[in-house]
Amino acid sequence: MSADAAHVEAKECKSFTQRIEIVGTYILDMVENWGRSWIFLYRTILGVISPPFRPRLIITQLYQIGVQSTLVIALIGVFTGAVLAVQGEYTLSKFGATAFTGSAVALSLIRELGPVLTALMVIGRAGSAITAEVGIMRITEQIDALRSMAVDPMRYLMAPRFVAGLIAVPLLTAIFIVLGIFGGYIVGTGLLGLSSGTFITQMVHAVGTVDVYSGFIKSIVFGFIFGWVSCYKGYTCGFGAVGVNRATTQSVVTASVAVLITDYFLTSILTRLIME
Amino acid sequence: MISIRNVHKRFGDQVVLDGVSIEILPGQTTTIVGPSGVGKSVLLKLIMGILEPEQGEILVGDKNITAASNEAERNSIRQDLGVLFQSAALFDSLTVYQNIAFPLQQRCGHSADEIHDKTRKIITEMNLAPYSNSYPEEISIGLRKRVGMARALITEPKVLLFDEPNTGLDPLVGQEVYDLIDECKKEWHFTGVVISHELPEVFQVSDIVVMLLGGKVIIEASPDDFRNSPMPEVQQFLHGRVDGPIHIQ
């Protein structure tokens, strides 16, 4: 083997090991990050269940996450219901079943679209704000200041946001669903010429308690994901403006993807349970 | 008051502190100096128990903060500490009054009246009364440092830690901060640890000056001895010369 060939072979071998090293480092980082996020969740839950309890901070967060999101959730709820009515009526007309438009609107909103769209909207509006706020507190040493004053940031900062998310998301989901049905009803009866009595009767017949439970369970789980991801990403934010920028983007993307993936599994499990 | 014994700290492959030992006596103010990135702020966070060393121990009084097994134990030791952060680290959502009252509100055993009286007293002493309802963003950086100082002092800590107290300040405000530290020392009689690279201005508040370089303590001396030290590293750092044994990173 010539010296050149040996040199090329050595270079290729080095480049191959470098690639393996990069992949290995990436996997190790991912596993480490995953582990950290679970430890963070454990410490947050510990902060939630152990005194001192801070109801005033929870109320402040409920205002920021819940009350301040209400308008946008209401608006999107009304228009989602309206779109569902139009699309539902069009699809069902192909089977001569437009009478079931009310059922389709209500079931879609209660079981699926209400919890998912509400969660995605809250993640986009309040989740990004939480991540940015906590992230800025991290980089301006405010979290270190809390710790230096013997105040546990998990109890003081994370627990109230986590609890507020768990309470606010299901309540916002309920608002979304009610206004969505209202939007569907207005468009269905006012513009599409559906009978008001049929719309409501079919809806009442089709929607059962299990459907409401299903939507409620989903909204709680999504509230949990929202609080966990947005707080964790802020708490582990990197340095400077770039760090906050990256953390905020990651927070919204991770939480949104987690909601959609979890939704699939929850839907499968809950539907099977209902059918049994 | 604070014993730092053979402390080692690294981040990944980078060794930051390599066997640092410093003894800080009660009532003294020890200033830790050194070029940027030498581990001064890391040492401060180790004293606060925010970071943990790989090796060595740090005692605040007779309590070993590095041996504390959980946050509750560390918190009980932190009750003896007050910190003035580089950026003052005031809480944006709280007013000046609320920021200063905050440490007392978080501790058990203080009535609302007691907290109010103590906060009002320190606000008056620190000449902060006109700003008590302002938010941190509405006041100057010099005033923020003053508020940070009041917040650190309100719990009457035995030890006060200062992380680069006049970084980013103009010379006049910087001098005002040192004068404030001096005044507070006389009134509250705390043990001080100052992290700084502002030489020789910081000598005004220092009883002992410690210089860190390459993760080690290279000199521990009084300000005068430090000034007159023949060590080339000390002279280079003191006079801000580019050429010399210290390589700029």
- The CATH code of the domain that includes B238 is 3.40.50.300
Residue where a domain terminates, one of B156, B173, B201? B156
SS (H, E, C) chain B: CEEEEEEEEEECCEEEEEEEEEEECCCCEEEEECCCCCCHHHHHHHHHCCCCCCEEEEEECCEEHHHCCCHHHHHHHHCCEEEECCCCCCCCCCCHHHHHHHHHHCCCCCCHHHHHHHHHHHHHHCCCHHHCCCCHHHCCHHHHHHHHHHHHHCCCCCEEEEECCCCCCCHHHHHHHHHHHHHHHHHHCCEEEEECCCCCHHHHHCCEEEEEECCEEEEEECHHHHHCCCCHHHHHHHHCCCCCCCCCC
Mean predicted confidence (pLDDT) in A13-27:
86
Q: Are the beta carbons of B48 and A151 separated by less than 8 Å?
A: no
* B154 lies within 8 A of chain A by CB: no
The reply to whether B204 falls in a domain is: yes
Q: Are the beta carbons of A152 and B102 separated by less than 8 Å?
A: no
pLDDT score of B166 more than 60: yes
Q: Are the beta carbons of A141 and B87 separated by less than 8 Å?
A: yes
**Domain range enclosing B27:** 1-80+159-249
Mean predicted confidence (pLDDT) in A258-273:
92
Give percent of chain A with pLDDT exceeding 90: 64
B210 pLDDT band (50/70/90 cuts)?
very high
Q: Rounded to a whole number, what is the distance in Å from the CA of A142 to chain B's nearest CA?
A: 5
Average pLDDT, chain A: 91
Q: What is the crossing angle of helices B171-188 and B141-153, to 10°?
A: 10
pLDDT score of A95 more than 60: yes
The reply to whether B10 falls in a domain is: yes
Q: Rounded to a whole number, what is the distance in Å from the CA of A39 to chain B's nearest CA?
A: 14
Strands B29-33 and B208-213: parallel
Please check whether residue B26 is in contact with residue B189, taking contact to mean a CB–CB distance below 8 angstroms. Answer: no
Based on the fold, state whether residues B114 and B230 are members of the same structural domain.
Answer: no
Based on the fold, state whether residues B34 and B17 are members of the same structural domain.
Answer: yes
Q: Are the beta carbons of B102 and A148 separated by less than 8 Å?
A: no
What is the number of domains present in chain B? 2
B248 pLDDT band (50/70/90 cuts)?
low
Based on the fold, state whether residues B184 and B228 are members of the same structural domain.
Answer: yes
Exposure on the CB side of residue B211, measured as CA atoms within 13 A: 26
Query: What pLDDT does residue B202 have?
Result: 82
Query: What pLDDT does residue A78 have?
Result: 95
For chain A, the structural domain boundaries read: 51-275
The reply to whether B238 falls in a domain is: yes
Mean predicted confidence (pLDDT) in A178-195:
91
Q: Is the overall model pTM greater than 0.80, yes or no?
A: yes
Give percent of chain A with pLDDT exceeding 70: 99
Based on the fold, state whether residues B76 and B176 are members of the same structural domain.
Answer: yes
Residue where a domain terminates, one of B156, B188, B208? B156
A137 pLDDT band (50/70/90 cuts)?
very high
Q: Are the beta carbons of A147 and B48 separated by less than 8 Å?
A: yes
Dihedral in degrees, nearest 10, Cα atoms A129, A134, A139, A143: 160
Query: What pLDDT does residue A115 have?
Result: 95
* B76 lies within 8 A of chain A by CB: yes
Residue where a domain terminates, one of B104, B135, B156? B156
The reply to whether B85 falls in a domain is: no
Mean predicted confidence (pLDDT) in A147-164:
91
Read off the pLDDT of residues A112-131 as tens digits, 9 standing for 90 and up: 999 999 999 999 999 999 99
Q: Are the beta carbons of A144 and B89 separated by less than 8 Å?
A: yes
Average pLDDT, chain B: 87
The reply to whether B56 falls in a domain is: yes
What is the C-alpha to C-alpha distance for residues A102 and A98, in angstroms, rounded to an integer?
9
Q: Is B214 exposed, middle or buried (0-12, 13-18, 19+ CB in 10 A)?
A: middle
Read off the pLDDT of residues B188-203 as tens digits, 9 standing for 90 and up: 888 989 998 877 778 8
Which of the two residues, A180 and B145, has the higher pLDDT score? A180
The reply to whether B128 falls in a domain is: yes
Based on the fold, state whether residues B73 and B143 are members of the same structural domain.
Answer: no
Which residue, among A46, A149, A152, A239, would best test binding to B if mutated, counting the most B CBs under 10 Å from its CB? A149
Q: Which residue of B has its CA nearest to A54?
A: B106
Q: Which residue of B has its CA nearest to A136?
A: B92
Based on the fold, state whether residues B46 and B134 are members of the same structural domain.
Answer: no
Residue with tokens 């007293």: B121
Q: What is the sign of the dihedral through the CA atoms of A40, A42, A45 and A46?
A: negative
